[in-house]
Amino acid sequence: MEGTKQTPHIVILPAPGMGHLIPLVEFAKQFIHHYDFSITFTIPTGGSQTKAQKEVLDSLPKSIDTIFLSPINLDDLSKDTNVETRFYLTISRSLSSLREAFKVLTATAPIAALVVDLFGSDAFDVAKEFNVPSYIFLPSPAILLSLYLHLPKLDEMHSCEYRDIHESVKFPGCVPLHGRDFMDSVQDRQSKLYTWTLYHSKRFRLADGILLNSFTDMEESAIKALKESGDSSVPPIYPVGPFIQNGSRDGVDISGCIKWLNNQPVGSVLFVSFGSGGALSWEQLNELALGLELSKQRFLWVVKSPNTTYLGAQTTEEEDPLMFLPDGFLERTKGRGLVVHSWAPQIQVLSHASTGGFLTHCGWNSTLESVVHGVPLIAWPLFAEQKMNAVMLVEDLKVALRPKVKKGIVKRIEISKVVKCLMEGDEGKRARKRMRTLKDAASKVLSKEGSSGKSLSEVARKWKSHAWL
Ligand code: UDP
């Protein structure tokens, strides 16, 4: 096993799901590329590996090892138990197996650090038993970390739901946020999920450090306020991003997106996609189709079957999501629009010269990918912390436009207006210019002299010194 060689050794524990594995894998690859470490991924599982997970883990470089923790059982949970609670429980039920892995690993070489993501703070206890420092790698913006760190105080201060607080809440250095824009997991204070989130938010302070997949040029004042909070119970914060996938897994152009983009004018196409799982209602899907048609702009749209819950997109082989589009839509927009089924090679699309805008659900990976490729946005948040991201992108960074929602629906006229404004209007031009500035900053920030590169060196130094204690 590679971990046995005499380089400092890091153990990474991702929560289940590709959305957690991918940023940690990208971080791990970058980290070993710049520093002489070996890394072991300990993978919690509820059963067999998914194809996507296998592909990612099989492609890891040699100095990254993988251990599958013993499968845990979640059969006692009701069917409607939300995904976040499942993540928290998967980690807490994997601890004995993680302890066994630590025993095996420490028998051959000391472990310099344990790295978990935002669902993994229960694993700190195992690391402590082995005198190993614990770090969180947060695949999220600083504004979300601010909310986590302030949540215990907010919980004490308010008895109502956060969305019922009249005034906006201003975390130090962050754009003011209304409670209704807080992440979903704190929107129902009577729920078990809220209790879990509050419990873990308190445990964030037990970490030896928090690595943030963001960077100073993007969230300068929020990061500064976190780093200089003067609160000794806040762990050191290391903004180390942006880590994004490089698109090498996208492979051949099965959907034909790239071939189609090759034939479109530079900067003319709006890419429309709601992430890996985001879904719209049938009514909203129709309004979006008719709004895109009305805008007369070129578009590349990844269509998923409609669902009443935002996170309900299912990719079944049998169901063709295109059958939910309005009658005649495909014929009327032929040539100007391309509609693809469920998945597109997003990195290749965003880095293509023909792509001039991105209508996105504001997932953090999608957000960072647009920043790295300099593509301005239409912010259409659906779930999780996406509304917070949208507020930051629209009101603080001003790299996104946001359509107005009326009675839960964005109407076709509004969609058409915002699309035209992003692709042709003055506001779109200004957003594009600001996005280019951010893109330039993102391209430098991970170099040795860049702020994220320096943070990463500092983390590496700390981990090395612990390994040789
Ligand atoms: N993605 C992709 N093609 C798609 C949809 C998503 O390659 O059609 C990738 C995208 O590039 C990003 C990730 O899936 O890396 C989505 O992550 P994000 O945090 O934006 O949203 P989530 O899927 O977690 O809601």
pLDDT in tens, 131-174: 999 999 999 999 999 999 999 999 999 999 999 999 999 999 99
Pocket, ligand 1, Cβ cutoff 6 A: 19, 245, 273, 275-278, 302, 343-344, 346-347, 363-366, 369
pLDDT in tens, 311-369: 655 545 557 889 999 999 999 999 999 999 988 999 999 999 999 999 999 999 999 99
d(CA 396, CA 358): 18
Instruction: Give the integer Cα–Cα distance in Å for 131 and 412.
Output: 58
Amino acid at 375: V
Residues 6+ apart with CB under 8 A from 63: 2, 7, 32, 37, 38, 39
- How far apart are the C-alpha atoms of 240 and 209, rounded to whole Å? 12
The whole-number pLDDT of residue 282 equals 95
Section 236-247 average pLDDT:
92
Tell me the two tokens of residue 5: 């060689």
DSSP result, 157-205: H--S-GGG-SSPB--TTS--B-GGGS-GGGS-TTSHHHHHHHHHHHHGG
- Ordered alpha helix ranges (H), 296-411: 329-332, 346-350, 364-373, 386-391
Among protein residues, the one whose CA lies closest to atom 24 of ligand 1 = 19
- How many percent of the chain have pLDDT more than 70? 95
CA distance 131 to 402: 48
Q: How far is the CA of 369 from the centre of ligand 1 (A)?
A: 9
* DSSP 8-state code for residue 254: T
Q: Is 303 exposed, middle or buried (0-12, 13-18, 19+ CB in 10 A)?
A: buried
pLDDT in tens, 426-466: 999 999 999 999 999 999 999 999 999 999 999 999 999 88
3-state SS, residue 67: strand
Q: In the chain, what percentage of residues exceed pLDDT 90?
A: 82
Q: What is the ipTM of this complex?
A: 0.99
Give every CB contact of residue 77 below 8 A, 6+ residues apart in sequence. Answer: 85, 86, 89
Output the pLDDT for position 2.
46
pLDDT bin (cut points 50, 70, 90) of residue 3 is very low
401 CA → ligand 1 middle, Å: 20
Could you count the other beta carbons within 10 Å of the beta carbon of residue 13?
28
Centroid of ligand 1 to alpha carbon of 276 (angstroms): 5
Sequence letter at residue 21: L
What is the mean predicted confidence (pLDDT) over 359-383?
97
Indicate the burial class of 318 (C-beta count within 10 angstroms; 0-12, 13-18, 19 or more).
exposed
Residue 309 has pLDDT above 80, yes or no: no
Chain segment 283-307, per-residue pLDDT in tens:
999 999 999 999 999 999 999 999 8
Amino acid at 251: G
